[in-house]
A and B are shown apart, each in its own frame.
Chain A
Amino acid sequence: MAILLAIVVFAFAILLHGLAMRSPMRLDSVRRFLLVGIPLGLALAAASLNLFGFTVQGFAAIAFYALLCELYMFSFTLVLSSISATLLIMLRNEPIDTRALASVYDPEEMVQLRLNRLLNNGFLDKVQGQLIVTAQGMNYHRAFTTLRVFFGHGHGHGQGQGQE
């Protein structure tokens, strides 16, 4: 019952996210999901603890909803930015000549796409036509430089091997 409740609330969150993605807000896809996912999560937590109390069932519903939300966010960010996902979607229509692949999948466009996202999300800014890193961008960069050292990935810049 508790797990079913979590599934129903999660399905509702996906539905609202789809609607949010179709409304003209200046928010990225993750923030749009958080906008609907967090209030629904809080409502689920209140309902679950009210129905089942501080029991394993009550907490299971909350944790399961959180896991489903994280999996969903992981999936849609992957679909929006992953090279493999883009390639599979491209091949959905018809097979592609490997020699022509460079013309349908342009790495320069991928860099430009990410550049635009960083500008839209406030990590970069353009001042007099010059790109600059904002304070938010510097914090992001510092945090991940620390994490690079922690995980033992080395001290240099990203090598572009991650999920993106």
Chain B
Amino acid sequence: MLTAFAAYLAAHLAAYIAGLRRLALLRTEKGIFLYHFSSAVFTGLAAVVAAFSYPEDFGFAGCVLVLSVHGIYSLSFLELWSLAQGGYSLSIIAGVAEAEGKGTAPDFSALTAIGEGKLAGRIAALEKLQLIAKSGEHLGLTPRGVTVARMLHGLRQWVDPGVPGRG
């Protein structure tokens, strides 16, 4: 059972490397997310069937094992994909390297402009997720947004208590 699952994950990655990565659909955030999400759903269903079919050898622990390994694979893949798509930090390094080569000072004005564009895009996305809502000229949280914002704030307070020298 576990061998079949390992083979399935290897095939999922191999199919992407061999050809699927050239598809326009899998070069979009939504497309690549669905490629992994649909696989996780399929794996989850197969794992539940296996858990009921082999309760002694596989069972609930087998489900957890299979879904955990898939989760680690998908999350790592999607993080790399997203970072490679172009984060601020990579763009800053590229900008500094370019300026270094030319012997000039780095120009981050393009990144600032991207930041302004990103903000507008993120507001639209959060509105679509019904986490924020516009009321006239004001932007506020929806009840669902309040819950999410509280959780995010709690996590930020936990990991960002304001100690100097932290990255």
Contact = CB atoms under 8 A, between A and B. Distances in A.
Contact of B159 (A18, A102, A117, A144): A18
Interface string B121-159: 011011000011011011111000110111011011011
A164 B68 contact: no
B124 to A, nearest CB: 11
A157 B156 contact: no
Give the dominant DSSP class at A's interface. helix
Contacts, number: 268
Contacts of B76: 70
Give the dominant DSSP class at B's interface. helix
Nearest to B62: A56
Contacts of A94: 140
A89 B154 CA distance: 10
Given A29-B159, A83-B119, A88-B148, A161 B93 contact: no
A25 B115 contact: no
A71 B72 CA distance: 9
A76 B159 contact: yes
A148 B94 CA distance: 13
Contact of A157 (B68, B94, B135): B94
Task: Give the contact-size bracket for chain B.
Answer: 35 or more
Given A108-B115, A150-B21, 20 more contacts: A3-B60, A21-B163, A56-B58, A71-B71, A76-B158, A83-B118, A83-B119, A87-B126, A92-B141, A94-B140, A117-B167, A120-B165, A138-B97, A148-B85, A150-B84, A151-B85, A159-B91, A160-B86, A160-B118, A162-B83
Interface of B: 2, 21-22, 26-27, 57-62, 64-65, 68-69, 71-72, 75-76, 79-100, 105-106, 108, 111-116, 118-119, 122-123, 125-126, 131-132, 134-135, 137-141, 145-146, 148-150, 152-153, 155-156, 158-161, 163-167
Q: Which 5 A-B pairs have the closest CB atoms?
A: A28-B167, A158-B86, A107-B115, A95-B140, A164-B87
